[in-house]
């Protein structure tokens, strides 16, 4: 790196995507164009930001590191800065309701791996305000999001995101595409909001049901629920039958549609 180029801070878990080819692939997956507003999480040194600004109408970039915010202000061209809003903030503390415009936007981000699931979980209530969410995460997290019933990766995160979004597999990114190289594999993927998720009488009960079902993965779903929800005990067997769930099945073998049916019955 040149002396004027920001160095990654280990304390913040920074890994800058610097490979131009993978940057272009990431932007092609996000497909910003025309009148799009793009929310970028963690612009870092601006490698993705520059490409997005070439295609989108404007960009709102959220960056925690004050040094990187200053670097972007110095390094971007004035005509680009006029279409860029920089917000120096911890993404987990941000008031998303106030930040997101009324019209749906596209989100792009090389998410900090240590808080990627927390960021995605925070996005769930605002799903209807996005056209798409395109992001880079640790390969292990991507496999959890994309998992199917019966997989060891299948769990709570899979289901809460699948309920709100269609999940689209993208591509793996090698460690050498980053500076410094991370010690884990990476994957770029996309979420597309579902126009009409299945109706639930109580969404919070649905979340509690899933969380409890996976509390002890080696136990059957019925045993996990019986130990946590005493008042449901007499209703479990009929509800399982209606949802097409066998009494010996574990939570990792039960589909989203079956969990939704179970939540309605209970």
Q: What's the pLDDT at 186?
A: 97
Q: Are residues 188 and 70 in the same domain?
A: yes
Q: Which domain holds residue 245?
A: 203-265
Number of domains making up the chain: 2
What pLDDT, in 10s, does the model give residues 123-148?
999 999 999 999 999 999 999 999 99
Looking at beta carbons, which pairs linking 145-154 to residues 24 or more positions away fall under 8 Å? Answer: 145/120, 145/189, 145/191, 146/189, 149/252, 149/253, 149/254, 149/255, 150/252, 150/253, 151/252, 152/252, 154/252
Given 169, 193, 217, which residue is the final one in a domain? 193
Give domain status of residue 18, yes or no.
yes
Q: What's the pLDDT at 1?
A: 42
- Confidence tier at 6 by pLDDT (50, 70, 90): confident
What pLDDT, in 10s, does the model give residues 210-266?
999 999 999 999 999 987 766 666 788 899 999 999 999 999 999 999 999 999 988
Give domain status of residue 5, yes or no.
no
Given 193, 213, 231, which residue is the final one in a domain? 193
Q: Is the pTM of this model over 0.75?
A: yes
CATH number where 230 lies: 1.10.8.100
Residue 217, classed as helix, strand or coil, is coil
Give domain status of residue 2, yes or no.
no
How many whole angstroms separate alpha carbon 125 and alpha carbon 135? Answer: 18
């Amino acid at each position: 790196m040149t002396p004027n180029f920001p160095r990654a801070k280990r304390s913040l878990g920074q890994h800058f995507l610097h490979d131009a080819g993978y940057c272009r692939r990431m932007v092609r997956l996000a497909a910003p164009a025309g009148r799009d507003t793009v929310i970028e999480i963690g612009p870092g040194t601006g490698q993705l930001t520059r490409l997005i600004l070439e295609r989108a109408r404007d960009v709102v970039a959220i960056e925690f590191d004050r040094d990187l915010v200053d670097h972007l202000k110095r390094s971007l061209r004035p005509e680009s800065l006029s279409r860029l809003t920089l917000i120096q903030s911890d993404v987990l503390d941000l008031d998303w309701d106030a930040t997101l415009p009324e019209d749906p936007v596209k989100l792009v981000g090389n998410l900090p791996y240590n808080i990627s699931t927390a960021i995605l979980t925070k996005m769930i209530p605002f799903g209807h305000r996005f056209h798409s969410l395109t992001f880079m995460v640790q390969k292990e997290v991507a496999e959890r999001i994309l998992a199917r019933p019966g997989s060891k990766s299948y769990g709570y995160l899979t289901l809460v995101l699948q309920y709100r979004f269609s999940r689209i597999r993208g591509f793996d990114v090698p460690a050498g595409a980053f500076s410094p190289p991370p010690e884990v594999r990476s994957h770029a993927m996309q979420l597309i909001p579902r126009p009409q998720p299945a109706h639930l009488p109580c969404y919070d009960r649905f979340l509690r049901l899933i969380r409890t079902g996976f509390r002890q993965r080696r136990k059957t779903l019925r045993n996990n629920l019986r130990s946590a929800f005493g008042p449901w005990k007499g209703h479990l067997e009929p509800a399982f039958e209606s949802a097409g769930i066998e009494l010996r099945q574990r939570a990792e073998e039960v589909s989203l549609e079956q969990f939704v049916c179970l939540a309605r019955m209970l």
